[in-house]
Structure 1
Amino acid sequence: MQQSPPLGSAPALADDYAARGFPVRADLGQHFLRSSESARRLVDRAEIPSGGQVIEVGAGLGTLSATIAAAGCRLWAVERDERLQSQLEQRLGEFGGRARITIDDVRRVDLDQGLEAGSTLVSIMPFAPVLAAALVRHVFGSPRLVRGLVVMPVLGADLLVADEASGLRVEEVDGIAREDFYPPAPSVLRVVAIERSRPCSK
């Protein structure tokens, strides 16, 4: 198994990985956030209740994760790529029990067991539109989740809007530059707020 590059400074961490030629996984729609400022803006946009629980799907290098935890939230970071486990542990170790890491596909995780009622999803979804939409639908299958703020390709957001059966209300609230990621996003991105338009039937 390939080891993660050494920990770099927070704003340039993704650039450190890029400089070392770290191979991103296209099958996961994997891209890493380069900008701590963008991470702070996303957390501000999410309007998370004080001390609230956040689930992050696709925690990556932990740039957004650390920003969420530093804001006083209780974080559950789920990341599928096992190569990133040690990096996440380093990045989130200072937050102790307030930051929990699970290395697995979120679709194999018992969300109802780990989430509290009223939890929020804050994530940068894979930059593969169909996968991004599928993961959002899956996570919102837990009735414990009430709202979300995610970065996703515009086509993924369109898929959610068109899927009336999902019971989700999707609203574009911001944009984010493709160049804020390593590698740069291949298509236009949107920051979308997600809420339920009807109670979860689960």
Structure 2
Amino acid sequence: MPRHARTQNSGRPNRAGRPNGQKRAASKATIPPANHAGIHLLRDPSVSARMVRSSGAGPGDLVMELGAGLGALTATLAATGARVIAVERDPRFVAKLERRFAGDDGVRVVEADARTVMLPHRPYAVVANIPYAISTALLRRLLDPDTTSIRSADLLVEWGFAKRMTDDRPRDLEVAWWQARFELSVAGRVRPGSFRPAPSVDSAHLVVRRRTDVSGPQARLARKLLRDAYRAPRRAARDVLGAHVPMKRAHRLLTSTGIDPPAAAGTVPTAVWLDLARSLSAGGADAGRSAPAPGPRRPRRPSPARTPAEER
């Protein structure tokens, strides 16, 4: 037998009693296709009900569903009487959505990418099961307060992602700024079995609400403080705040919030920087600073001499 014929071994049985070629074919058949987009269709009606109930959607409200899939959330949203814009980019899902909601005037199906679809100019809410792969890009669109009119969002996201978004000391300035303009919280954990195909990790119901207790000037000041803190996270919080107010006042304000003034700026929670911005905005960021040195005085004109009669 030729030597190379021994190395081919294409027809010899393996340990399972099958030819090697059959073993390889069987292995490929049992491996599910890779889900690079992180798309997991919601199939648990109880999760849909909780999300829609949390959103508070009702008659006349405008709600966007980004990544509508087969309409698990769409149907529950439509039942509230809200106006629903169901955005889906997969043509196969779009066709099924259009057939399913053909007779519902409250549902509009839009074939588009959630990352580029035009967002409403009037106040709106988002209720969506978003693909893991575009979570950051999508929140970057939705939570930019200068370009969106979003008032709230209820999102299904990967559990670890939700924890990063709600950490009181975010890793980066972008998330800290989102937290200064929106309240972010986790409403609950969602197990893999609630989706098809099931993801390898748990998901979370991430709740986003636009803050109504932060004015424009307060938000702008908070952004300055956060920017300075993240630019030099190891710098003392007292020094970061001291760039905006006198050092004594910075020390007093930090102490009143429970922060040790020498503590590193990177250890101060976003909520504290926001409270400091509110305090400074109320009294003026420059309140308490030393008054500028007075300029040279103009020489006083001498008073005219008085006569003895005038002195009497």
- The question of whether the paired residues in 2 share the 8 Å contact of 1:170 and 1:194 is answered with yes
Amino acid at match of 1:193: V
Q: Is contact 1:53–1:116 with CA below 8 Å preserved after alignment?
A: no
TM-score using structure 1 length: 0.76
Q: Distance in 1 between matches of 2:99 and 2:189?
A: 30
- Once residues 140 and 163 of structure 2 are traced to their aligned partners in structure 1, the CA distance between those partners, rounded to angstroms, is 13
What letter is aligned with 2:83?
A: R
Residue by residue over 1:24-49, the C-alpha shift from the partner in whole angstroms, topping out at 9 and shown as x without a partner, is: 87232111111223212211121124
Corresponding residue for 1:164?
A: 176
> Within the alignment, does 1:99 sit opposite 2:102 as a pair?
no
Residues 1:132 and 2:144 aligned together: no
Question: CA 1:60–1:25 in 2, change beyond 3 Å: closer, same or farther?
Answer: farther
Q: Is the 8 A contact 1:59 1:123 kept in 2?
A: yes
Q: 2:39 aligns with which of 19, 30, 43?
A: 30
Residues 52 and 25 from structure 1, CA distance in 2 versus in 1: closer, same or farther, beyond 3 angstroms? farther
Deviation at 1:147, TM superposition (A): 0.7
* Residues 125, 132 of structure 1: 8 Å contact kept: yes
Equivalent residue of 1:146, what SS? strand
Higher relative contact order (CA 8 A, sep 6+): 1
Query: What SS does the corresponding residue of 1:87 show, helix, strand or coil?
Result: helix
**Which protein has the larger Cα radius of gyration, Structure 1 or Structure 2?**
2
Identical aligned pairs, as a percentage?
Answer: 27
Give the Cα–Cα distance (whole angstroms) in 1 for the partners of residues 81 and 140 of structure 2.
Answer: 27
Distance 1:24 1:86 in 2: 23
| Secondary structure in structure 1 of the residue aligned to 2:200 | coil
1:78 shift after superposition = 0.9
Of the three residues 201, 204, 225, the one matched with 1:190 is: 204
Flag structure 2 segments of 5+ consecutive residues without an equivalent: 1-31, 221-312
What one-letter code is carried by the residue in structure 1 that aligns with 2:135?
A
Aligned to 1:174: 188
Query: In the aligned structure 2, how far is the partner of 1:99 from the partner of 1:116?
Result: 18
C-alpha spacing 1:34/1:159, structure 2 compared with 1 (3 Å): same
In structure 2, C-alpha distance between the alignment counterparts of 1:24 and 1:53, rounded to whole Å:
36
Which structure has the highest strand share of the two? Answer: 1
Q: CA RMSD in A?
A: 2.3
Q: Normalising by the residue count of structure 2, what TM-score does the alignment of the two structures yield?
A: 0.51
* Pairs aligned (count): 173
Partner residue of 1:120?
A: 125
Q: Is the 8 A contact 1:62 1:92 kept in 2?
A: no
The alpha carbon displacement at 1:100 in A equals 1.0
Q: Which of the residues 85, 93, 113 maps onto 1:76?
A: 85
CA distances 1:120-151 after superposition (whole Å, capped 9, x unpaired): 110111134xx213212212334321111111
Task: Note if contact 1:133-1:160 (Cα within 8 Å) is conserved in structure 2.
Answer: no
Partner letter of residue 103 of structure 1?
Answer: E
The answer to whether the 8 A contact 1:133-1:157 is kept is no
- CA distance, structure 1, for counterparts of residue 75 and residue 156 of structure 2: 17
